[in-house]
Amino acid sequence: MFMTINVLLFGITVDIAGKRRMALEVEEGCNVLQLRRSLQEMYPELVSLRSLTLAVNNEYAPDTHTLGSGDEVAIIPPVSGG
Amino acid sequence: MVSITDQSIDIGALQRSVEDDGAGGTVLFIGTTRDVTDGRKVVALEFEAYKPMALRELEKIVQYAREHWQVRHISVTHAVGRLAVGDPAVVVAVSAPHRDAAFEACRYIIDTLKKTVPIWKKEIFSDGEVWVNAHP
């Protein structure tokens, strides 16, 4: 079974993917690690980044976090505020 | 009080926002951007934020500071959009009864902000643009 998640991109990942947001179909039970791997397959340049953290519904999420239908998932490249 | 602004930061307003008769000391940190990176002259900067999460992370940082240091008020503002070299990108203001707490809390806030808050800086040179710290 599949579900839709809403992916938001930031910083250099926008340059890499060519977009700021996308709706993705993922398998139910998909976790953060699996999603990161899928994104890296779709956009191999993501692999060269220093880090690629994901946030789910405005909270940093560990690799083991299971995604839910309709989740807002942000792709967080290395932060550089301040 | 935390905020993200696409206008230029009003440092005086931030200082006034932490004024308190119970404060013996106020520490103001102003983060600005240098004009040269690796020998290249920086022409301008752009900051981008994942705003709802950035505000949430800033609130967490301020909450931690309140729990660990005796302070009166804390205000943090980060600018987004295009900035010129020397423009304040971030300002942290902390007032406290005693200056040790103000210095320590302010240091904690800016150090942690730089590690956890989803805000990104791009440096613009005359011959290109680079997202800071993106690649090892």
> Which residue among B48, B53, B136 sits closest to A58, beta carbon to beta carbon?
B53
A49 touches B: beta carbon within 8 Å: yes
B55 touches A: beta carbon within 8 Å: no
Tens of pLDDT, residues A10-25: 999 999 999 999 999 9
Report if pTM > 0.90.
yes
Quick one: which of B118, B50, B35 has its CA closest to B84?
B35
CA B14 and chain centroid, separation: 12
Quick one: which of B12, B32, B29 has its CA closest to B94?
B29
CB contact under 8 A, A81 and B132: no
B48 touches A: beta carbon within 8 Å: yes
A11 touches B: beta carbon within 8 Å: yes
Tens of pLDDT, residues B58-86: 999 999 999 999 999 999 999 999 999 99
Mean pLDDT of A48-75: 98
Q: State the complex-level ipTM.
A: 0.96
